Structure 1
């Protein structure tokens, strides 16, 4: 149990957003990270809109633990209706996301 930071990277040099979370981490029998958590602080309206947008674009985040400047483990995040976050390690994630923008 502790704290961590979820980072959403647009590419290798641009981090669009970071979210502090309270987290409980376990490692399964084959050494794969699994965790549950919650946002450390309630998201305000603007933060919630940003979070929802990023989750819709691609629910993969890099996770950083205390003392790390940048996250190195990729996780897939699923948020339950009650706000609980489920994180599973995603080592095979290729960094691509599908999305479209209406620029009109």
Structure 2
């Protein structure tokens, strides 16, 4: 695949068994000469208030999602998602690893 234009789905997994949320996106993917790829996209449907709050929370927690292309059951590619103020999404293939971060919560 040198280029793909269509729909895909971003999935945010809490662990190997629990997918917390799925987001449909319109996406354009381009692969460079060494096989690395970059993508841009937008949410396929406008997020309502609850979906937006969930999206913002997940992005703040850990902006790594699995991407699922048409015809796939599960995402095999971990991507780092950046969202511009205009709502444009930029996706880059995540480096090897699980994409997790360490977060500390201060409880009252």
Does TM, normalized by the shorter one, top 0.5?
A: yes
| Contact 1:4-1:65 at 8 Å conserved across structures | yes
Cα offsets for 1:36-89 (capped at 9, x unmatched): 000000000000000000000111000000111110000000000000000000
Are 2:42 and 1:38 equivalent residues in the alignment? yes
| Contact 1:74-1:93 at 8 Å conserved across structures | no
State how far apart, in whole Å, the 1-side matches of 2:18 and 2:36 are. 27
Q: Superposition pairs for residues 21-100 of structure 1, below 5 Å?
A: 21-100=25-104
After superposition, the Cα gap between the structure-2 partners of 1:96 and 1:31, relative to the gap in structure 1 and judged at 3 Å, is same
The aligned length equals 104
Residue of structure 1 aligned with 2:11, choices 7, 18, 28: 7
Runs of 4+ in 1 over 3 A off after TM superposition: 100-104
State how far apart, in whole Å, the 1-side matches of 2:105 and 2:70 are. 35
TM-score, normalised via structure 2 length? 0.90
State how far apart, in whole Å, the 2-side matches of 1:59 and 1:8 are. 9
TM-score, normalised via structure 1 length? 0.93
Where in structure 1 are there 5+ consecutive unaligned residues? none
